[in-house]
Amino acid sequence: MSLFGAMISGVSGLNAQSQNLGVISDNISNLNTIGYKGTVGRFSTLVTESATNTRYTPGGVLFHPTALISKQGLLQATSSTTAAAISGDGFFIVRDNANPGTNDELFFTRAGDFKPDDDGYLRNTAGYYVQGWATDREGTLLDADGNTTTSNSSAVTDLQVLDINSILTAAASTTSIEFGANLNADETAVTGGTATSTTTGIDYDTTDLTTLAGINNGDQFSITHNGTTTNITISTGDTLEDLAAAISAVTGINATTTTTGTNDTLTLTAAFADQGVTFANVTGTPFSATGITVPGIPGTLAPTYVAGNLATGTVAEDNTMPVTIYDSLGSSHTVNLQVVKLGQNRWGFELTGNTTTGELDPADHPNGLIQAGVITFDGSGNLQTFTGVAATISGVTIGTTGDLADADISAEWSNGADDSTFSLDFGTIGLGNGITQFAAGADANGNLVNYTTHFINQNGAQAGTMVNYALTEEGFLQVEFANGVKRPVYKLAIATFEAPDEMENHTGNVYRQTRESGDYLLREPGLNGAGNVVASALEGSNVDLGEEFTNMIVTQRAFSANTKTITTTDEMLDELIRIKR
């Protein structure tokens, strides 16, 4: 009979509305719970199929609590340096103990009110410990074995509980040295290899070279410099002056003559002290015992500077720039950038140090040489190239060869520290933001300054104890030491889900993964769809109090209406019973 169905339907309404009031009550009670995600009540019909189309059988209503887990809460600033909120998708990954096993359950939360416990592990108010990746000093993610990894290839077993006491004392080994200085463009360069002719009886501008013994019209010789060979032809009527002009037109060699008019000579000089120039007869024998006799020619004008000459003292430097760097133990070492002009727009440099006790290992760094190289500049005085040159001293090869813009050099110490690996930064190619080459200038007092050092920066530091720690906007747990060094030690891991609203709620404002929510994906903050970390902030409850009060009124009225259905049905049943009486 429909009267009983109506009563049962009313009862289901009372049950649904009472559950909805429970949802509202829970939302209001957690209004100030950090990271709390509200629940909203949804209803669906419960239909009982009728026997015929002329009868109706009441069914009732079903209640469906729906969690608004993906709804963003309001971010609130806080003074805590270890608090963090997520703006966007994702959850902090937490465990319920500081030393979890591989099979311990993972939980997920938006409550980022983390503080260190007595052992230095970060946990939130509910007692859940937050997890992330350990990092190196550059912020690169590390796996459980200390090897470099990425969030895409990382497993949850690589995550660790964030521990502010993981590094209490630290030194920062120098990994980069930056130089900003001006080299004097007017500096006198080291003279390159040179040779002077000894043939007598030549007038530099009148003697026809083809009249000399051993030289004929069409004779040729070659000049090879830096891998490029150029042929010079001697023609009838050419003078010593003409020959000097033809030779000087070749890159890498200069030729001059005396101008006395009798017994004039030809002097050949390599344009760059570190580069040799080779002469060879091609046609005839213009450079031989007859004709123009230049000692050693045919042959090579040897370099007058080779890598390592500054370290050994064979060649004197034009300027020295000292800088203090630090090894892995925090010990300081003074190294010097020595420079010498090798030719027009071309300079040699050598980075050197001491080989006394506790300094550079003399077996690896004879004469204290760490790295040699060549700097070139364009016509505007800006850096053009910056290359390393391997040097050999006492049979030991030192340094690396090739472009140093993106290369590291190494230094081995005798004090037990790890080998240092660092880069040299002389500025941006084509710009004047590092080492430049301009003429000498005046300082603020009007004094002539041949060489100017604008800055020398290095990123190492001596050992220091931890003085502060904080979570950063990039999601790093960054530790600051008394020596001024700030370095990341962990990075927060963010878990994202395909259907976060389908996760299972658990005590402590955390959630569990379910089949409906999909598997979690490990992400770095701000990457691959994960939200950004907001440091020193907390995500408030996403409950709207005004909306909850409104829902409460509606629920109360709906509950009252359902009670009216039951009382009305009761009265109708009472009338039905009175028929029998």
Q: Give the model's pLDDT for residue 111.
A: 93
Phi-psi region of 31 (alpha: psi -120 to 50; beta: other; left: phi over 0): alpha
Q: Look at residue 460 in the predicted model and tell me its pLDDT.
A: 87
Pairing of strands 537-539, 510-512: unpaired
**For position 64, what pLDDT does the model report?**
81
- 187-225 pLDDT, tens digit per residue, is 999 999 999 988 888 899 999 999 888 889 999 999 999
CB atoms within 10 A of CB 471: 28
Asked if the structure places residue 444 within a domain, the reply is yes
Same domain for 349 and 214, yes or no, is no
The per-residue pLDDT for 54 is 65
Q: Give, to the nearest 10 degrees, the angle between helix 545-580 and helix 2-29.
A: 160
Question: Same domain, yes or no, for 182 and 310?
Answer: yes
pLDDT at 253: 95
Q: Show the tokens assigned to 155.
A: 């497993």
Domain extent for 230: 194-301
Of the candidates 119, 151, 121, the residue with the CA atom closest to the CA atom of residue 133: 151
Rounded Cα gap, residues 247 and 233, in angstroms: 10
Number of structural domains (the chain) is 4
Given this model, what pLDDT does residue 472 score?
94
Query: Tokens for 1?
Result: 């009979």
Q: What is the pLDDT of residue 56?
A: 67
Q: Answer whether residue 352 shows pLDDT above 90.
A: yes
Residue 483 to residue 461: CA distance in whole angstroms: 6
Any idea what the Cα angle at residue 305 is, between residues 369 and 379, rounded to 5°? 100
Q: What is the pLDDT of residues 20-44, one digit of tens each?
A: 888 888 888 888 888 888 888 888 7
CATH of the domain at 413: 2.60.98.20
pLDDT in tens, 46-76: 776 665 666 666 777 888 888 888 889 999 9
- Residue 581 pLDDT > 70, yes or no? no
- 442 pLDDT higher than 80: no
Tally of residues, the chain: 581
For the ranges 54-63, 146-155, 159-168, 315-324, which has the lowest average pLDDT?
54-63
Give phi and psi for 545, each to the nearest 5: -60, -40
3-state secondary structure of 22: helix
Q: Say if 533 falls within a structural domain.
A: no
Q: Are 50 and 23 in contact (CB under 8 A)?
A: no
Residue 328 sits in the same domain as residue 181: yes
Q: Are residues 313 and 295 in the same domain?
A: no
Last residue of a domain, one of 282, 301, 320: 301
Do 336 and 412 have their domain in common? yes
Q: Please answer whether residues 469 and 164 qualify as being in contact, where contact means their C-beta atoms are separated by less than 8 angstroms.
A: yes
Average pLDDT of 156-162? 90
**pLDDT band at residue 289 using 50, 70 and 90 as cut-offs:** low
d(CA 496, CA 295): 79
Q: Which of 301, 322, 341 is the last residue of a domain?
A: 301
- Asked if the structure places residue 534 within a domain, the reply is no
Q: Is residue 368 in a domain?
A: yes
Is residue 104 located within the same domain as residue 57? no
| Half-sphere exposure at residue 373, Cβ-oriented, CA atoms within 13 angstroms | 23
Residue 171: helix, strand or coil by DSSP? strand
Give per-residue pLDDT as tens, 553-577.
888 888 888 788 878 877 788 777 8
* Structural contact between residues 383 and 436, judged by C-beta atoms closer than 8 angstroms: yes
Query: What DSSP line would sit under 89-148, residue for residue?
Result: S-EEEEESSSS--TTSPPEEES--B-EE-TTSBEE-TTSPEEEEEEE-TT--EE-TTS-B
Does residue 302 contact residue 273 with C-beta atoms inside 8 Å?
no
Provide DSSP, 428-456: -TTSSSSEEEE--EE-TTS-EES-EEEEE
- Whether pTM > 0.85 for this model: the answer is no
Could you give the CA distance from residue 33 to residue 505 in angstroms, rounded to a whole number? Answer: 14
Q: Are residues 561 and 523 in the same domain?
A: no
pLDDT at site 395 = 93
**pLDDT (0 to 100) of residue 77:** 92
398 Cβ neighbours under 8 A, 6+ residues apart = 308, 364, 365, 366, 369, 370, 371, 372, 390, 391, 392
- The predicted pLDDT at position 325 comes to 95
Residue 535: per-residue pLDDT: 93
pLDDT digits (tens, 9 = 90+) for 491-547: 999 999 999 999 999 999 999 999 999 999 999 999 988 999 999 999 988 888 888
264 to 246, 296, 399: CA distances (angstroms): 17, 19, 45
347 and 420 in a common domain: yes
**pLDDT bucket at 485, cuts 50 / 70 / 90:** confident
At 291 the pLDDT is: 67
pLDDT at 404: 92
Per residue in 235-288, pLDDT tens? Answer: 999 999 999 999 999 999 999 999 988 889 999 999 999 999 999 999 888 887
pLDDT at residue 232 tops 90: yes
- Please give the structure tokens belonging to residue 424: 């040299």
**CA-to-CA distance for 212 and 286, rounded, in angstroms?**
9
Q: Which of 527, 550, 572 is the last residue of a domain?
A: 527
Q: What is the mean pLDDT of residues 370-383?
A: 95
Q: Is residue 402 part of a domain?
A: yes
Question: 557 with 538: CB under 8 angstroms?
Answer: no
Mean pLDDT of the chain: 89
* Residue 548 binned pLDDT confidence (cut-offs 50, 70, 90): confident
Band of the pLDDT at 304, cuts 50, 70, 90?
very high
Q: Report if residue 563 sits inside a domain.
A: yes
Q: What angle do CA 405, 407, 410 make, to 5 degrees?
A: 130
Q: Which pLDDT band, with edges at 50, 70 and 90, does 391 fall under?
A: very high
Closest CA to 487 of 496, 477, 502, 474: 477
Q: Same domain, yes or no, for 316 and 422?
A: yes
Among 135, 95, 132, 128, residue whose Cα is nearest residue 112: 128
Query: 312 and 449: one domain?
Result: yes
Q: Does residue 532 sit within a domain? A: no
313 and 443 both lie in a single domain: yes
563 near 110, Cβ under 8 Å? no
Q: What's the whole-number mean pLDDT along residues 403-424?
A: 92
Same domain, 398 and 440: yes
Q: What is the pLDDT of residue 50?
A: 62
In 3D space, the residue among 86, 83, 108, 114 whose CA is nearest the CA of residue 95 turns out to be: 108
Residue 504 included in any domain: yes
Q: Which two tokens stand for residue 200?
A: 């007598």
Distance CA 22, CA 559 (A): 13
57-95: b or e for each residue (b if 16 or more CB lie within 10 Å)? ebbbbebeeebebeebbeeeebebbbbbbbeebbbbbbb
CA-to-CA dists, residue 158 to 127, 135, 151, angstroms: 22, 11, 10
